[in-house]
Amino acid sequence: MKNIIISLSIITMIIAGSCTKTEKADLVIINGKVLTIDDKNPTAEAIAVKGEIVIAVGSTAKISGMIQEGSTKVIDAGGRLVIPGFNDAHVHFGPLDPDYIELRYTTDPSVITEKIKTQVARSKPGELIRGGHWEHEMFTDKKWPTKELLDKVSPDNPVILNRADGHSVLVNTYVLKASGITKNTPDPFGGEIQKDPVTGEPTGILKENAEGLVKTGEVKSERTAEEENTRLWQGYLLAMKEARELGVTSIQVPGSADFEAYEKLQKDGQLTSRIDIGKSLTADTLLLKKYLDIEKKFPKEGNWIRFGYLKAFIDGTIGSGTALMFEPFSDNPGTSGLAMMPYEVFENMVVTADKYGFQIGVHSIGDKGNNWTLNAYEKAQQANGKRDSRHRDEHAQTLLLSDIPRFAQLGVIASMQPTHCISDKKFCEKRIGAERVKGAYAWKSLADAGANLAFGTDYQVEPLNPMEGLYAAVTRKDRLGEDGEGWYPYQKIKMQEAIKYYTLGSAYAQFMENRKGMIKAGFLADIVITDKDLLTIPENEIMKTKVDFTITGGKVVYTSGQ
């Protein structure tokens, strides 16, 4: 009996000791509506964070016991929605130019002329003027703009204005002359110099690889090197500020960016979004070996600055009429789009890079472009053996219905940007016809077929705001709203699924699903608190939803109103 009493006493002491040693948190969120994206524990009320890691998820009562008075930061969510930080799987991120002429949503082409005139007035002769995001399908006349819009107000300055998709530019006569582009200049492979059908003169529109003909090396700058560096650094800070205000805690750059700049941001405590940076796809083995050295410095095991995937373009876009299609465009039977390279060259690049173990992502828009991409990935598996490569189809915009099951079969990530749907739907059916539209922006069909989806924005082609992507995914309606069920509504998905693809789906696409994309003990503490409940609000409130708190790596990097 005495031994039993002693044993019970020991057990009591152990229990009491464990209670007094409850781990204390650095940060606690209580009274929230936590959508964890963790199937095993889908909802909760509170979260505890230690350092950069979530250490507990549960009830407010449970998590409150982890508060150390005077040292634990406590956020009372007050019933607001708490979700994992947004992970933009495809974002052309970089320093912002404060002088960039914003032309998004312009409907009157004369506005372009006025904005150029204003910028010329505060520029020195010879200084380059840049701007863009114009979309001719939004113009009242829906016609391609021409150099005449620019020439009358910019005779002494080069002007380059990117179309919204980045696959066409409008330039003035100054640029055409400086670049030696005339009526006799042939189209480069994978590019088009748009020419007047009557005079044969360049209109000022350069598509795809023709953009590479532009020469801006002799453009004057009145700024010193020091002023340029200061301006560049301020541009990086502006970009980071925009990302954290929108709840974007992770960024995946499709292609190259400046590793050193982000290292400096991290050293200075200014890196508030994690970032993956890749390189261009190549079959050059010497270059691939150099990429391996970079990957060693920024390995996938890291959590902040990581080497991403190798990027290639196989075609253009629907909007520019350069997406690679099997059949001609419905509204322009003279073309089936543009291939950026011959298929044999492309396949060799994919197979070679796959052999070296790299992840690959290919910009694929047209049904033929997507088919080529899937074919090349399949060939790589046949040549090198099947592995967990997680190669990516960037955009996957227009698919043959027969190609949809191949994503799951080949393990290819469908890296999609939902806002492309609501931006393009006003002209997509006109461009490719009702039959091919059945395979366009088909995220629901892909998901139902077992594909892994990752959501992003394609910023700056589209706005960086994740709320616009969520709205597009669940409504397929114009940003201004519209009656009915949306454009091809059978492709709509539920809000919880859209959030999942924007968090865990994007983490899976970068091999980080075991430590990011869910609110779960042991995972990185990247968390967003919104001012509206995205799961219950009417659809017209989704894009009005703001971020109240952004937390990256356990640190509050943004608070609304501060």
What span, in angstroms and rounded, lies between the C-alpha atoms of 474 and 496?
10
Q: Which domain holds residue 136?
A: 101-213
pTM for this predicted structure: 0.88
183 assigned to some structural domain: yes
Give every CB contact of residue 131 below 8 A, 6+ residues apart in sequence: 100, 101, 102, 103, 115, 116, 119, 159, 160, 161, 162
CA distance 178 to 184: 15
Residue 113 belongs to a domain: yes
Is residue 172 assigned to a domain?
Answer: yes
- Domain assignment present for 64: no
Query: Does a structural domain hold residue 18?
Result: no
Specify whether the CB–CB gap between 123 and 130 falls below 8 A: no
SS3 208: strand
123: in domain: yes
Would residue 31 count as lying in a domain?
no
Alpha helices in 86-215 (DSSP H): 110-121, 148-151, 173-178
- Name residue, tokens 């990247």: 526
pLDDT digits (tens), the chain, 562 positions: 444 434 444 444 444 444 446 899 999 999 999 999 999 999 999 999 999 999 999 999 999 999 999 999 999 999 999 999 999 999 999 999 888 899 988 999 999 999 999 999 988 888 889 998 998 888 988 899 999 999 999 999 999 999 988 889 999 999 999 899 999 999 999 899 999 999 999 999 999 899 999 987 655 556 678 888 898 999 999 999 999 999 999 999 998 899 999 999 999 999 999 999 999 999 999 999 999 999 999 999 999 999 999 999 999 999 989 999 999 999 999 999 999 999 999 999 999 999 999 999 999 999 999 999 999 999 999 999 999 999 999 999 999 999 999 999 999 999 999 999 999 999 999 999 999 999 999 999 999 999 999 999 999 899 999 999 999 999 999 999 999 999 999 999 999 999 999 999 999 999 999 999 999 999 999 999 999 999 999 999 999 999 999 999 999 999 998 7
Any domain includes 114: yes
Domain count, the chain: 1
Of 459, 365, 472, 488, residue with least CA distance to 418: 472
Q: Count of alpha carbons within 13 Å of 462, Cβ hemisphere only? A: 24
Please report the sign of the dihedral spanned by the C-alpha atoms of residue 277, residue 282, residue 283, residue 287.
negative
What CATH code is carried by the domain that includes residue 179? 3.10.310.70
Q: What is the DSSP string of 471-508?
A: HHHHH---TT--SSS-SSGGG---HHHHHHHTTHHHHH
